[in-house]
Amino acid sequence: MLAQQRQGQIMAELRRNGAVRVSDLIDRLGVSDMTIRRDLGQLEADGIARKVHGGAVLAGQVAFEPSFAAKSELARGVKGAIAARAAELIQPGAAIALSAGTTTTAMAAHVATIAGITVVTNSPTVADTITELDTAKRVTVMLTGGVRTPSAALVGPIADRTIATMHFDQLFLGVHGMETRAGYTTPNLAEAVTNRALVDSAREVIVVADSTKWGVVGLADIAPLGAATTLVTDSDLPGTALRTLGHSVRNVLTVPAEA
């Protein structure tokens, strides 16, 4: 198969799902890891794709919202390490909020082991994971309700009104992108409103985002960089980004990118 044909198939998969994995492309196209990475490099040079840990995502479309399944397959190990580190910040007996997202979903398994906390979430996936793992029912889980988005978030007036009546000790917020001017963003307008409600109701905001989110700008802003007290990310974040974040965020915690 010619390089153009391979890249055409990869482009079709990117436009269908918003993301691709190197391992899946190797199996599907019957070529080597190095060949796929060269193809992704060419698509990135063409402005079609943006390479991330283990694959690539569709580039240049601020309103495009990848499915939860597509996003969950990328940078799994790093997201797991970020989730574990973030869970260490949970205060005993706290009332916390977990936004929807793949990294906050990875946190759910850790949260399920912390007895005596209350968890409010707009993610059915997070709520189901905690409930299934917490067989002793030591964690109180509350689901906000709302309309489900492609990224498995519950949003809209019902979710917003519910959140506005609550007060959280800590919010663990997943984001689609983070950038100097745009701050924390998402491609979904309704999800942005719901996330802003979560931020407004929290005493402490902790953003969990791997390094591939840096420089990505979604259609709708959630909050400026300084709205977060803490950012948990990975060591692949560029030095310039670390310096920029250091001026806005009180604590920037990094886990090894090799995770």
Mean per-residue pLDDT, 168-181: 95
Tens of pLDDT, residue by residue over 195-204, are 999 999 999 9
Mean per-residue pLDDT, 89-109: 94
CATH 3.40.50.1360 placement within the chain = 72-255
Greater model confidence, 64 or 172: 172
CATH pick for 72-255 out of 3.90.76.10, 3.10.20.30, 3.40.50.1360, 3.30.420.40: 3.40.50.1360
- Give me the pLDDT at residue 218, please: 84
Tens of pLDDT, residue by residue over 100-121, are 999 999 999 999 999 999 999 9
CATH top-level class of 3-60:
mainly alpha
CATH 1.10.10.10 placement within the chain = 3-60
Greater model confidence, 152 or 67: 152
Q: 177: exposed, middle or buried (C-beta count within 10 Å: 0-12, 13-18, 19+)? A: buried
pTM: 0.77
Q: Where are the alpha helices (H) located in 18-75, listed in sequence order?
A: 22-29, 33-45, 68-72
